[in-house]
Amino acid sequence: MKTKFSILSILFILFISITSCKKNEENANIKYDGAWTLTENCSPSGAASYSVTIILDPADPLKFSVKGLWEVPASLTVCTINSGDKNIFSATRQTISPSFEIEILSSNINTNGDIITINYRIYATGSIVISDACTATLTKI
């Protein structure tokens, strides 16, 4: 009887641990969702201000897409939230237009969830030469 109780206790603790971790991940991308005003300074293209939209990935709580980075309205940059620190995300190099690719090197969202900073690079498709290097601040609308 003691063995049954011990096994059931261990299984219950494992279940609670797994569901707690899953619950934390389920809400990881919620604070990123919505419309944002972006101001950036890029080299060599200069300063710009425009709006972007962050769209959550319904299938993966650690992913979302930024629509409109680098003033390419139809572009979707797929980002992955750091599993250890949910305030950090990145994006591997990916196509944003037929001629250009983007890579997000570093990012951070503040604890209030209303300001994001991003450092990203733009490349001509297939090139290793940086076409534009940008630092952007996004403010939740």
Average confidence (pLDDT) over 97-109? 97
Domain that holds residue 65: 2-140
Write down the pLDDT at residue 25: 59
pLDDT-based confidence at 27, cuts 50/70/90? Answer: confident
Q: Is the pTM of this model over 0.75?
A: yes
SS3 call for 141: coil
29 phi and psi, to 5 degrees? -100, -5
pLDDT-based confidence at 83, cuts 50/70/90? Answer: very high
CATH of the domain at 49: 2.40.128.120
Residue with the bigger pLDDT between 4 and 19: it is 4
Q: Report the candidate in 38, 75, 40, 80 with the shortest Cα–Cα distance to residue 56.
A: 80
19 phi and psi, to 5 degrees? -70, -30
Are 124 and 134 in contact by the 8 Å Cβ rule? The answer is no
What's the total number of domains in the chain?
Answer: 1
Average confidence (pLDDT) over 19-34? 70
User: d(Cα 84, Cα 121) in Å, to the nearest integer?
Assistant: 24
pLDDT-based confidence at 124, cuts 50/70/90? Answer: very high
